[in-house]
Structure 1
């Protein structure tokens, strides 16, 4: 592959007191990882050198002050800050949260300006990032604002893909958030993503019920009968291959999910508990619906093992590979959608 063809991967460093820097270092310690893409870490040379020393790593960083000066074949580090940072592994620290946001904002600016091709985000602490300037529940909501789109949390591991109607909202409020408009919006995002990002021409999508046993004809709640089922019927009549609502308790255990290209859960834990049970450590959080490609590992800061050298980088590595693959799929889709004859002649 020619150097200019390599996908440039922008990486936000996440919470410095967590496992983010460790999994980034482990992901790029093997030089073969540089054959597919060029990493650009948004942090500082001094900070990343600290982690290199702490973890006794042989990785070599190439420090730059501007993304435009990146070098292919190197692990580039953009100096977003230059002052030393006090790292205390496993500690929730408001000051460390500010550095996580500095990294994220710089990486987001770079992808908006076309200086990096995709964005892979290391885990943040949703509590210590909050401020008057940054008031978002997490990456997804912030990036939806910055990268022009209506986002959807899409958990991906091979052919298992799980999206959410509601994500980071309290369980007691989840059902009230689910409207026909929201159902239509999320299904359209999933459908579009399956087509352009995953190369599935006629995707089949399953939707999980809001209530146990899909409400049992109103005995355990009527939201499925009044809101969800009628909306799905309308959307299906319009030509989208969407099915449900399915009772969530047996859907994954029966392997029914394997009959579909994606599953949409009604609320966070309904989708993520089975997803992480099946794919934990190999799953990827992809933010579908944005103008740019963003992925992250399927875990958090893991303060309990931070600094101990025990973090498993596999999910982060999969996030990198998934971002690259989606970027290429989307690029190919855009070429063929403009000239269908190219696809026919391929």
Structure 2
């Protein structure tokens, strides 16, 4: 029996010359996914069929729709974002790939904003061929922040054993320190704290904050940001009922496994957070944009032009991004229900406390 109350998940196709559509076909080709959600692919018939022919072992079917709010819950849906013929060149970085990646993303994201989708999973794009005067963004995250008109968002990497958030994202190393301000750190901590509660179901999140400089500045000997900016930000965040600690020296923090003691880690810049995440994360990592009213996830990798069109792409991270999108949709509903019914929240807290006391006694 088809459950029409399943979440509707939009899938943007990413660069049409990358691995995005291969990932999508391999993921939604498993019909068991239809028991969990209703997928809507934002691309075109012709481009989707191009990749379907290169994956003959996958039994993949779809239903074409003209309105993203009127979906077929019995099948995978395709919303045609364009009708014209497009030359697909797997593995090639060109303007065509960027143009249609942006068209797919913009169409899908607008559907998310309008409430026609319950969540959005984005396939990888390449910044080189998507950035333009019309699309003046360095990636998905700043674009979605602008579209949803929110003051700030957080790029949050999620795996089974760790969550790593970033203060700065795609910023040149020489410019990073200019973005490390008390206001920015507090803003990221507030968004992260709220997301951990609402989107991941953690009542009292515990957050670690990393330093910017080697050895977290060595008390001002190797940079002053820790003493002048990061510590005051942590102190103020605690006054806002955010359970955060630090700043920690990044190398020792990850090497000694201290991340296992926290619900999330706030890194100061991209590689400080992403290198240990991709090295130490267990299971399939995904990227989540915290702070939006809509829900967006993505795999934790890029377009992989080197294997595009060769049936070599591993869809595990993309599949996990869909699963996590569904989990967050359900977590938000549960959070909303608990706050509508305070007795339910009190009951859940009572059960949790009783469990903790039992464990302590044992």
TM-score grouping bracket, smaller chain normalisation = over 0.9
Tell whether the 8 Å contact from 1:12 to 1:103 is kept in structure 2 after alignment. yes
Which runs of no fewer than 5 residues in structure 1 stay unpaired?
Answer: none
Equivalent position of 1:217 in the other structure: 219
CA-to-aligned-CA distance 1:181-207 (integer Å, 9 cap, x gap): 101100000000000000100000000
CA-to-aligned-CA distance 1:233-253 (integer Å, 9 cap, x gap): 232244321000000011112
Tell whether the 8 Å contact from 1:130 to 1:136 is kept in structure 2 after alignment. yes
State the alpha-carbon separation in 1 of the partners of residues 54 and 337 from structure 2: 46
State the alpha-carbon separation in 2 of the partners of residues 165 and 291 from structure 1: 20
Equivalent position of 1:8 in the other structure: 8
Equivalent position of 1:341 in the other structure: 343
1:345 offset after TM fit, Å? 5.2
Tell whether the 8 Å contact from 1:195 to 1:202 is kept in structure 2 after alignment. yes
Equivalent position of 1:283 in the other structure: 285
State the alpha-carbon separation in 1 of the partners of residues 197 and 2 from structure 2: 28
1:2 offset after TM fit, Å? 5.5
Q: How does 1:296-311 map to 2 (within 5 A)?
A: 296-311=298-313
Equivalent position of 1:68 in the other structure: 69
CA-to-aligned-CA distance 1:279-312 (integer Å, 9 cap, x gap): 3871000000000100000000001111111111
TM-score by length of 2: 0.93
1:257 offset after TM fit, Å? 0.2
1:344 offset after TM fit, Å? 3.7
- 3-state secondary structure, aligned to 1:252: helix
- 3-state secondary structure, aligned to 1:5: coil
Equivalent position of 1:162 in the other structure: 164
Tell whether the 8 Å contact from 1:8 to 1:116 is kept in structure 2 after alignment. yes
Equivalent position of 2:122 in the other structure: 121
Is 1:253 aligned to residue 255 of structure 2? Answer: yes
Match of 2:186 among 179, 184, 187: 184
CA RMSD, Structure 1 to Structure 2 (Å): 1.4
How many residue pairs end up in the alignment?
346
Which runs of no fewer than 5 residues in structure 2 stay unpaired?
Answer: 349-362
Which sits farther off after the overlay, 118-127 or 107-116?
Answer: 107-116
TM-score by length of 1: 0.97
Equivalent position of 2:44 in the other structure: 44
Equivalent position of 2:207 in the other structure: 205
Tell whether the 8 Å contact from 2:208 to 2:245 is kept in structure 1 after alignment. yes
